[in-house]
Amino acid sequence: MISLLSIIPIRREAAESSEMVSQLLFGEQVEVLEVADNWTKVKTLHDEYEGWVDAKMLTDIQISEEVAIVTSLTAILQCDELKFTVTLGAVLPVQKAGFFIIGDQEFSLIDGMVSEEELTTEEALDTITQMQKSPYLWGGRTPFGIDCSGFSQLFYRLQGVDIPRDASQQVKCGDDVFLQEAQGGDLAFFEKEGRVTHVGVLLDNKTIVHASGCVRIDAIDANGIYVKETQKYSHKLLGVKRI
């Protein structure tokens, strides 16, 4: 099944009042695990994340494995007379005769950018730094609201690399790197009482872009993230990983 809506909430339990733990973006596919009344328990194909989705929000079709990804913060699609906005990271099948064809529906891109090629690290860094001031949203994965691990996951998704959804899972990926040897695109992880609580993307070995309150750029050193406005450290460094 597939999301043909701009953003679909994935909830912890089968209820509208349940916590949103992640989101599906337009064009992302899921495997159905369970059906309960009007709710469907799904597993996302790109990161195997599980949760509950309102069954009315999913469409029962498959799309080609050959896809393009939206690389602008937003893009506008048109289907028949309907125009609607999708976000950075949305997935579209490769364009044919001017249209992205999904099932029996034809979508045309009338604004924004789509790439069939994986972005380089430099291109992906440039893209995500444009998300500065995007608000923090627990479970969010878009420029309209995103959490720290959704931000790092999106960064790698733009490069054609799928990593797990949560920071506690992401920290198990890749190879350890000393901060002084870190490069742009490495992930920095932070802890509290031995538990991974935060992740961000390094721009270099002294600067980090991350989602904390909003997407922002701060200084980083061996102690952690240093916030210039407060002149305090906001997060304690656990380590750096190169994926």
Q: What is the CATH number of the domain that holds 7?
A: 2.30.30.40
Same-domain check for residues 160 and 238: yes
Same-domain check for residues 106 and 127: no
| Boundary residue ending a domain (115, 136, 153) | 115
Q: What is the CATH number of the domain that holds 177?
A: 3.90.1720.10
CB burial class (10 A; 0-12, 13-18, 19+) of residue 37?
exposed
pLDDT tens over the chain, length 243 residues: 999 999 999 999 999 999 999 999 999 999 999 999 899 999 999 999 999 999 999 999 877 777 899 999 999 999 999 999 999 999 999 888 889 998 888 999 999 999 999 999 999 999 999 999 999 999 999 999 999 999 999 999 999 999 999 999 999 999 999 999 999 999 999 999 989 999 999 999 999 999 999 999 999 999 999 999 999 999 999 999 999
* Structural domain span for residue 38: 2-59
pTM attached to this predicted model: 0.95
Tell me which residue has tokens 């125009």. 83
Same-domain check for residues 181 and 212: yes
Are 56 and 28 in contact by the 8 Å Cβ rule? The answer is: no
d(CA 184, CA 11): 33
Same-domain check for residues 83 and 136: no
Same-domain check for residues 165 and 230: yes
Same-domain check for residues 76 and 50: no
Are 68 and 81 in contact by the 8 Å Cβ rule? The answer is: no
Are 241 and 183 in contact by the 8 Å Cβ rule? The answer is: no
- DSSP for the chain, please give it: -EE-SSEEEEESSSSTTSPEEEEEETT-BEEEEEEETTEEEEEETTT--EEEEEGGGEE-----S-EEEE-SSEEEEEETTEEEEEETT-EEEPPBTTBEEETTEEEEEEES-EESSPPPHHHHHHHHHTTTTPBB-TT-EETTEE-HHHHHHHHHHTTT----SSHHHHTTSSEEE-GGG--TT-EEEEEETTEEEEEEEEEETTEEEEEESEEEEEEEETTEEEETTTTEEEEEEEEEEE-
d(CA 99, CA 105): 9
Same-domain check for residues 194 and 103: no
Same-domain check for residues 190 and 231: yes
Give the total number of structural domains in the chain.
3
Same-domain check for residues 85 and 140: no
Same-domain check for residues 86 and 191: no
d(CA 93, CA 187): 29
Same-domain check for residues 223 and 125: yes
Same-domain check for residues 238 and 202: yes
d(CA 183, CA 206): 10
